[in-house]
Structure 1
Amino acid sequence: MKKTTKTLGVLFAAISLIAAGCSESSASPAEALPIVKTWKIASMQSGVTTNGKIVASEEVQVVSKVSGKIATVPVQEGSVVKQGDALITLESSDYQEQINQAQAAIAGAQARLRDTKAGARTQQLQQLSSGVEQAKASLQVAENTYNRMKALFDSGALSQAELERVALDLEKARRGLEQSQAQYDLAKAGPTADTVAALEAEVARLNVSLEMAKNSYDNTVVHAPISGIVAKRNVNPGEMAGAGAPLMVLVKMDQVKVEASVPQAQINQVKVGDNVDVKVAGMNEKVWNGQVEFVSPVSDANSSSFPIKVKLDNPDGLLRAGMVAEVYLQGEAQKGTKVPSSAIVEKESKKYIFTVDQGVVHQVEVSVSDSSSDWSVVTAGVAENDQIVVNPTDALSDGSKVSVN
């Protein structure tokens, strides 16, 4: 009886240990599933691939044409503006005074021109005619006096000095008559064409000065030269703005450009008007359609690559200047799928990629045509929408169960 009881106790103990072991073994695999990071393969255009940076389709340095103290700056950095909107207002009192002075000068010149064109009045002609008659009478008196004095001189009753004095008076009377007659003739004939032309030219010159003064006044308000976004604002109210000094920067971002370079061996495969695909770092799931708008005929100064520009529509504003982009250009380059180089594992001179399907890892042999430290081109072994493991560890093998991060 004691022996049987002892045997049963040992049996129950063994059963308990087996159950505990089974419980631990059933729980541990779920807890020990390795966590992997994956990358989804997206369909991309085959051809020449190059990297570049995104820039605004237009970038304008806003400057003032005139100098002055800044009165208001109604926009901030990030403000969306339309072409023609007021960006900066300068104090304008000095420029208004220039307009007033120019208008006063024009009024005086126009009055002189009108008087000249109108000619002498009747009263002025009568006065000048009277002057001519008086000059004639004075000349007659001087001639009579000279004749009497000449007779006295001839008889010896008058000195040479006295005769010369009378002769001088006669000459003065003659010149007086000539001047009076000339003034009368000029007044009666009216102004010459040259005189009128000179006065008209003066009026025209003053009108130009007035327009310049008005332009300067209008330029005290600095308007947006393009529609876009205020990317940088360099001034505040109360500061002085110099003519030609940058006041703010406007960028147009509803369409952007990618500036990139293509190696010499592939540049002839790229043509203006080619449609291309563009991917941006950090937005791997989205592909933008672009178009080549410029292919430089001259290489970079420090390399044998040639600059190109690709324009993209950016209606949502997701693309920002300075972002790094990958451009997939049409051409005759080797076809393939671009994947992170860190996803490729080499074993026994063969290359593999681990794909994940419903939590199970599959080891797939692949063919690689081109490789760099960041990206590799796989020509066989993977397909669009495959989930591949990035940075696989030695613990992974075909058929392993994993947890996707």
Structure 2
Amino acid sequence: MKTQLKPISTTAFLFFLALVPAWASPEKPADGGAKKPPQQEAGVKVTEVTRETVQETVAIVGSLESPRASKIGSEVEGIVENILADEGDQVKQGQPLLQLSNSQLKIALTEAKAEEEESRRNLLELKAGSRRQEVEVALSAMKEAEAHWEKAAREYERNKKLFADKIIDERLLTNSRLEAEAAERVFLQRKSSHDMALEGARKEDIEKAEASMKVRSAKVELIRDRLKKTTIYSPFNGTVAEKFIEKGEWITVGQQLFRVSQTDPIRVTMPVPETVVSQVRIGSEVEVRLDAFPDLRFTGKVSQIIPEADKGARTFPVRLLLDNPEGLLKVGMMVRGLVPFGARREALMIPQDAVSIAQGQKNVFVVDKNNTAKMVPVQTGVLKKGVVEAIGDLAPGDLVVIRGGERLRPGMPLKILDPGTIQLMPEKEK
């Protein structure tokens, strides 16, 4: 059966013809197809790629410690009269730390010097020979000394009874005994002088007097030495780490009074793996950082390599010294360092701030010949003093972006800023 085509109405056909021009010729935009405006320049700071001599480094964590610490004691016993330094104080070598009571030693020194002078005069008299007037003077001096001795002896006997009755303390009893003994010695010396004046000096008497003079002089020096030791001094520049006594305490010979630690220079001990320790050299500079001062960098020098490993970790202690004139670094602080090892070599270096990471790949932006941003993939190597080795399509003198590259894209036009200027990336037009 044949299909019959229905005739199209004249009205529908005319409507179709009216639509064809509109479909075939779309309307042009009102602006006549204007071009897209040029990209705005991005302000950046740049620096040159440099070639430097570097060494491989190994990152090590260590701690600050004192290179030497002294437990300070006393060579004499006595009562603590004054404490001149406290825990945490910075002290200099030879600075007084503590003063013991020394009044009795001062008295003993005065007596010893008097005895020394008496012996000296006696020796001179023996050598010069005695005159009648000298005999009389010697007799008078002997009697005066005898009277003083007897008085001191009576006072001592009286004080012994008072002490037994608990009326006076032991200190007064001791003082009276010392006075009596001193008075007795003076009397015996003056009696000897009188006897010698009567008899006249003999050779052996002169020799004896000379020996006595030496003994008296030695006694003076001994007391002076003991007196000097009543002041305790710091043995070196450092910090008072601990104090073990208080004012008024009685201390004995050898008792520990202070612990002083040297803090300038201060020492770092780092455990270096056995695989690289043989390539570390004494005197090598090591850059270190501290968590306590994240914005600061410190440089020390390797001072010791201990040739005995930690048996568990198989690491060797490597020690460096850091200058610490202001006492900023404290014993026990954690240190992170890059210990150099191996042979020196040439490498291309860029600031750490120039390296960015996108999708796990490290990149830098380089200013190309058209003054636009070029992204260059790199690998990093040796790190030292804020700069890092860059391995990639770079050459000495290339300009790498160090500031303002946060939103850079390859091909963006760049405006290189002055070192003292910084500008944010241009905002996208809304």
Counterpart selection for 2:61 from 51, 71, 77:
51
Question: Which amino acid in the other structure matches residue 333 of structure 2?
Answer: M
Q: Which residue of 1 aligns with 2:335?
A: 325
Tell me whether 1:91 sits opposite 2:97 in the alignment: no
Q: Give the drift of 1:219.
A: 2.0
Q: Give the drift of 1:106.
A: 2.0
Tell me whether 1:255 sits opposite 2:265 in the alignment: yes
Structure 1 contact 119–191 (Cα < 8 Å) conserved: no
Question: Which amino acid in the other structure matches residue 75 of structure 1?
Answer: A
> Whole-Å Cα distance in 1 between the matches of residues 323 and 129 of structure 2?
71
Counterpart selection for 1:69 from 49, 55, 79:
79
Structure 1 contact 278–325 (Cα < 8 Å) conserved: yes
Q: 1:81 to 1:317 in 2, by over 3 A?
A: closer
Structure 1 contact 60–250 (Cα < 8 Å) conserved: yes
Identify, as 1 or 2, the structure richer in helix. 1
Structure 2: gaps of 5 or more residues: 1-53, 135-198, 366-376, 382-388, 393-399, 404-430
Count of residue correspondences: 262
Counterpart selection for 1:222 from 232, 253, 258:
232
Structure 1 contact 54–320 (Cα < 8 Å) conserved: yes
Q: Give the drift of 1:237.
A: 0.7
> Whole-Å Cα distance in 1 between the matches of residues 61 and 317 of structure 2?
11
Tell me whether 1:299 sits opposite 2:302 in the alignment: no
Q: Give the drift of 1:83.
A: 3.2
- Identity score, percent: 24
Q: Give the drift of 1:316.
A: 4.3
Q: Secondary structure at the match of 2:66?
A: strand
Alignment of 1:5-16 (within 5 A): none
Q: Give the drift of 1:290.
A: 0.8
Q: Secondary structure at the match of 1:197?
A: helix
> Whole-Å Cα distance in 2 between the matches of residues 58 and 110 of structure 1?
48
Q: Give the drift of 1:54.
A: 0.6
Structure 1 contact 278–328 (Cα < 8 Å) conserved: yes
Structure 1 contact 56–253 (Cα < 8 Å) conserved: yes
Alignment of 1:199-214 (within 5 A): 199-214=209-224
Structure 1 contact 45–328 (Cα < 8 Å) conserved: no
Alignment of 1:238-249 (within 5 A): 238-249=248-259
Q: Which residue of 1 aligns with 2:202?
A: 191
Structure 1 contact 46–328 (Cα < 8 Å) conserved: no
Q: Secondary structure at the match of 2:341?
A: coil
Question: Which amino acid in the other structure matches residue 261 of structure 2?
Answer: V
> Whole-Å Cα distance in 2 between the matches of residues 123 and 278 of structure 1?
85
> Deviation per CA, 1:104-132, whole angstroms, max 9, x where unpaired?
432343344233322355899xxxxxxxx
Q: 1:260 to 1:242 in 2, by over 3 A?
A: farther
> Whole-Å Cα distance in 1 between the matches of residues 266 and 402 of structure 2?
28
Counterpart selection for 1:268 from 265, 268, 278:
278
Q: 1:368 to 1:86 in 2, by over 3 A?
A: closer
> Whole-Å Cα distance in 2 between the matches of residues 248 and 202 of structure 1?
41
Structure 1 contact 63–244 (Cα < 8 Å) conserved: yes
Q: Give the drift of 1:256.
A: 1.2
> Deviation per CA, 1:354-400, whole angstroms, max 9, x where unpaired?
99x9xxxxxxx99899xxxxxxxx9979x9989xxxxxxxxxxxxxx
Question: Which amino acid in the other structure matches residue 77 of structure 1?
Answer: E
Q: Which residue of 1 aligns with 2:158?
A: none
Q: Which residue of 2 aligns with 1:234?
A: 244
Question: Which amino acid in the other structure matches residue 266 of structure 1?
Answer: V
Alignment of 1:2-401 (within 5 A): 46-119=56-129, 121=131, 191-192=202-203, 195-296=205-306, 298-300=307-309, 302=311, 304-332=314-342, 352=360
Question: Which amino acid in the other structure matches residue 81 of structure 1?
Answer: V
Structure 1: gaps of 5 or more residues: 1-43, 125-186, 345-350, 358-364, 370-377, 387-405
> TM-score of the superposition, structure 2-length normalised?
0.49
> Whole-Å Cα distance in 1 between the matches of residues 83 and 291 of structure 2?
36
Larger-gyration structure (1/2): 1
Q: Give the drift of 1:331.
A: 1.2
> Whole-Å Cα distance in 2 between the matches of residues 384 and 233 of structure 1?
55
> Whole-Å Cα distance in 2 between the matches of residues 85 and 279 of structure 1?
33
> Whole-Å Cα distance in 2 between the matches of residues 368 and 59 of structure 1?
42
